[in-house]
Structure 1
């Protein structure tokens, strides 16, 4: 079947119009055929009823009135019908048509009282003209058997069926054309907003800019599609802006240590005592800074890709105790701790990184003291990390968890921060079904609070009811 286009390559407009035209054409054709057949059967039944009535009239005259067959036929108004009386041998006794007195139009009926009816395509002397034929067996008062045969011509009925069928076919054809044209225009008009949406999206794609598609004023499926497309374009625009900002910030963060390393390598330390050691220390520090930044970027990339967590039983109290020991070993700040046992289910390494990032952030901004606590609050385990530095302003408490967000640029850079620590905390908490918020304590300290779903202890088995 080469040369015939596949249905899948057609446009929606073409598919709808063609399917409508084919379906409607078949329905109209079947309707015309059913109408013609029904009309033909109705007219044929009416002709048979007329023939049966005349046959009964003649038979009744022969049976009750003691009329001769000829008298009975002559007394019946034929109105175009052919009436004959046949003897048991099939010979014509009398006929309403003189030309058919020697040619019977039917066979004798038997037994007595039997009425037969059928349609004959032609009769002797009536070539090509169909008739509805009825035969009825009857006996006169002397007991002589006869067959009354009546044939009603169907030419008028046939012409009526043909004329009605032609008129109905022409009307159906005109209606088919009208409906197909209306469907074509309706589909084209209905799909016009879709084409407008496609053109708008293509324009936005080509210019790689921010834009919106034209939304119809209706409240139908296409209008809902346009609203969905606009929401998607808005999300893509925000994602594109965030990606560009992320790349710009990451490039800036990497440029600084790279420039420092390059400058250190290009400057000749000379022979001053300790110069080479100082240069090596600077290079090592900046290299470690780049490594931390790359590690943070990889962590966030895994979070964006929804990397699976290695879930196991995790004791939040043990993770926080480890950080308390580390801080007290360094002696950089005073450490306060209030810890109670709390167990959750999650990735132990990720949770340890969450606690470490919160603690490092607290140490970076603390004046002298950091306070850590772990408590159970119903179905949640709560980790709080406080420092006596200034709290996060309320208007920035959400933005502080965005990537590369710094509320104090110089202090963050001097302390070695990259602006990714709290973003990592937020992504790890979210991956575990929890949340992190920036708060302020009653003493005016800065607080970060993490809430994670707590592991519920197994329920003890129900005690059996006492007997009786």
Structure 2
């Protein structure tokens, strides 16, 4: 909650500062533009006063002090004769020197400038417009007006400040409200995740209706929870099955050892060892298979090398005493890239499974179908129902027909074989067969 508030606060602050800066820049540009426009208008007004005075000077009708100037156009005005002496002026400039010293040089005989510290007011600057009239020489008429402040009018800057404050507040509030609404699904997701425990992985986070980034986040979280639930369920089942498998030989060993301790004189040590040894071998086999599964689960690196798959299978067949008839077709030159130890383990598990369930014949066939190599191991036993062909690849799974501890395996051979195949970018499946079970291994051929 604090983090979400922090995000809302940071976004609100950023938005408010950004909008405030934009408003300040806009206000400065607006004030500058308004100042330029008003200054131009004021200069035209001052020039108009000078033109009116120039009209009377041209006709020789001016008097001192200068009338007649309309009251709405009254400005400080001076008339300077060709000798540079002020001969007429408005009342506030009587008996004062010229307000400026520049004269027009342009063809239209009009010029303007900003004059500071003149006879008009030593503490202010004025816009002075100079106009020349020819009447027995060049007469100069100066008219002036105080320079406008940069804010033009006090009400304008007050209005801009108030507008900026209101606009920034409104945008910041809107941004905070929008961010809060956008992050509300995140709060719901976090709350739901806080209630999910390892014992209650069936719950899922709420998925918002708008298909935005938070919608995709919620979907990803739920998919992750689905995978996590599957993994934990598989782990629980694996631990339960492993405990069950380990308990059987351990119980047998304990029973035999306790019986020997109760009657040590009647115990035949060689017979005791012969009785205990199968249980020890079963424990050793379970431990070895569990270690192999652990290495496969963590993705231990493979020592990949070119391997003649036909030669590898033939070698493994020689180490097995196959009961019944063996039919094999293993052409040379089917080269795959893989780990020899793991591929040998895979082949051994498939052959042991076939030998365990075959009635009389095991058929081993290797084919080359670029870009894959296909190894087929088929027995003529009772087969596997189609609805259980994936079940046999679950760890510690044995079908009902193979529940006998003497005839059945540990339920780890086929899962290990499939995981080895997948670690080599291959597949291991059970396919249709007229009789028995037909395991098909596909591995990429070496390029």
TM-score, structure 2 as length reference: 0.89
In 2, the alpha carbon distance for the partners of 1:224 and 1:384 equals: 43
Alignment partner of 1:205: what SS? coil
In 2, the alpha carbon distance for the partners of 1:192 and 1:280 equals: 69
CA contact (8 A) 1:86 1:146 kept: yes
Query: Unaligned regions of 5+ residues in structure 2, if any?
Result: none
Q: Which position in structure 2 is the counterpart of 1:43?
A: 38
Q: Which position in structure 2 is the counterpart of 1:83?
A: 77
Q: Which position in structure 2 is the counterpart of 1:107?
A: 101
In 2, the alpha carbon distance for the partners of 1:93 and 1:412 equals: 136
CA contact (8 A) 2:355 2:362 kept: yes
Q: Which position in structure 2 is the counterpart of 1:360?
A: 352
CA contact (8 A) 1:115 1:135 kept: yes
- 1:81–1:159: structure 2 CA closer, same or farther, 3 Å change rule? farther
CA contact (8 A) 1:204 1:211 kept: yes
Cα deviation, 1:365-384, whole Å, max 9, x if unaligned, reads: 11122111111012110111
CA contact (8 A) 1:391 1:440 kept: no
1:232 to 224, 230, 237: 224
Cα deviation, 1:344-401, whole Å, max 9, x if unaligned, reads: 1111111111111100111111112211111101211011111111221111112221
Query: Unaligned regions of 5+ residues in structure 1, if any?
Result: 1-6, 457-468
- 1:158–1:18: structure 2 CA closer, same or farther, 3 Å change rule? closer
CA contact (8 A) 1:404 1:419 kept: yes
CA contact (8 A) 2:19 2:168 kept: yes
In 2, the alpha carbon distance for the partners of 1:238 and 1:170 equals: 61
Residue 451 (1) aligns with residue 436 (2) = no
2:324 to 325, 333, 345: 333
Q: How does 1:160-309 map to 2 (within 5 A)?
A: 160-205=152-197, 208-268=200-260, 270=264, 275-309=268-302
* CA-based RMSD: 2.8
Residue 439 (1) aligns with residue 431 (2) = yes
Q: Which position in structure 2 is the counterpart of 1:150?
A: 143
- 1:112–1:27: structure 2 CA closer, same or farther, 3 Å change rule? closer
CA contact (8 A) 2:358 2:436 kept: no
Q: Which position in structure 2 is the counterpart of 1:462?
A: none
Farther off after superposition, 146-155 or 226-235 = 146-155
Q: Which position in structure 1 is the counterpart of 2:29?
A: 34
In 2, the alpha carbon distance for the partners of 1:161 and 1:413 equals: 103
Alignment partner of 2:443: what SS? strand
Alignment partner of 1:414: what SS? coil
Q: Which position in structure 2 is the counterpart of 1:4?
A: none
Q: Which position in structure 2 is the counterpart of 1:464?
A: none
Residue 20 (1) aligns with residue 15 (2) = yes
Report how far residue 334 of structure 1 moved.
2.0
Alignment partner of 1:178: what SS? helix
Q: How does 1:399-418 map to 2 (within 5 A)?
A: 399-408=391-400, 411=403, 413-415=405-407, 417-418=409-410
- 1:207–1:352: structure 2 CA closer, same or farther, 3 Å change rule? closer
Report how far residue 323 of structure 1 moved.
2.4
TM-score, structure 1 as length reference: 0.86
1:52 to 47, 54, 63: 47
CA contact (8 A) 1:90 1:108 kept: no
Alignment partner of 2:438: what SS? strand
Cα deviation, 1:126-147, whole Å, max 9, x if unaligned, reads: 57665322123x35242x2332
Residue 140 (1) aligns with residue 131 (2) = no
Residue 11 (1) aligns with residue 6 (2) = yes
Report how far residue 222 of structure 1 moved.
1.4
Report how far residue 333 of structure 1 moved.
2.9
In 2, the alpha carbon distance for the partners of 1:117 and 1:111 equals: 11
In 2, the alpha carbon distance for the partners of 1:413 and 1:87 equals: 134
Farther off after superposition, 443-452 or 48-57 = 48-57
- Equivalent residue pairs, number: 440
